[in-house]
Amino acid sequence: MTAPLRLERPRPGVARVVLDRPELRNAFDDVLVAKLTDAFAALGADPSVRAVVLAGEGKSFCAGADLAWMKRVVSYAPEENQRDASALAAMFLAVDSCPKPVVGRVQGAALGGGAGLVAVCDVAVAAEGTLLGTTEVRLGIVPGVISPFVVRKVGESHARRWFLTGERFDAAEALRAGLVHSVVPEGELDAEVDRVLDALLLGGPEALAVSKGLAQRMGRVPLGEALMEATGVIAARRASAEGQEGMRAFLERRRASWTGGRGS
């Protein structure tokens, strides 16, 4: 049996995490959940990694929970169910809290937990024809673990409709709701991911991590608290070695050291 996850380094500074169960449409089981959690923890701590691409091998990005895993879950005692759900939550949190930008490369289907993975990506690029959905209610369960991430990404209105109807929707609707950020023909998917990576790699590595944290927090705290935190953050970044290098590079009309000669 092959490993359910593959790690690649397609270009300097970029790691590619590939869900590698194409025969099962990259559906989750407990092994894949654990490996994905560990992978993002390791990549987040790796100074050579500046951005991460999350992809699915084959025709689908991720079709949710594996049927064999679901059969085991049906017979779980309450404590086992809680432990299993906690492990799943830890996986989504590992992706969401990774200090490196995460770019989702989404094709085919992203259903249930697969839609949750799209929600925890910082930038999600989807192929035309991709179907997404939070279909759990049709199994008599709920999109429990993914709900905080999906609601924060698309808002209560879209979440209430999708959580309750369990309907599948296309990439164009996901784009309108903000679940994905661009939709391209499938043949252009890799080129669009590369375009996003090119933009990300122009940013200072430390600044990217801090900016991600700001985007996650600023809408969740009172305005006064948010402004106090934000002013402290910008003051610290201006005084940092990276901030000094970036501002001097701009004033001197040269590329910052971390760009490797790319862009401007």
Active-site amino acid positions: 136
Distances (CA, A) of 174 to 45, 74, 131, 165, 264: 31, 31, 9, 15, 31
Give all strands (DSSP E) within the chain, no chain letters: 5-11, 14-19, 51-56, 102-106, 109-111, 123-127, 131-133, 169-170, 182-184
Strand-pairing partners, residue 199, are none
Can you tell me the distance from the alpha carbon of 189 to that of 73, in angstroms, rounded to the nearest whole number?
35
Query: Within a 10 A sphere around the Cβ of 31, how many other Cβ atoms?
Result: 15
Look up residue 240 and give its two tokens.
């940092």
Look up residue 99 and give its two tokens.
């200090």
Nearest to 101 by CA among 18, 213, 178: 213
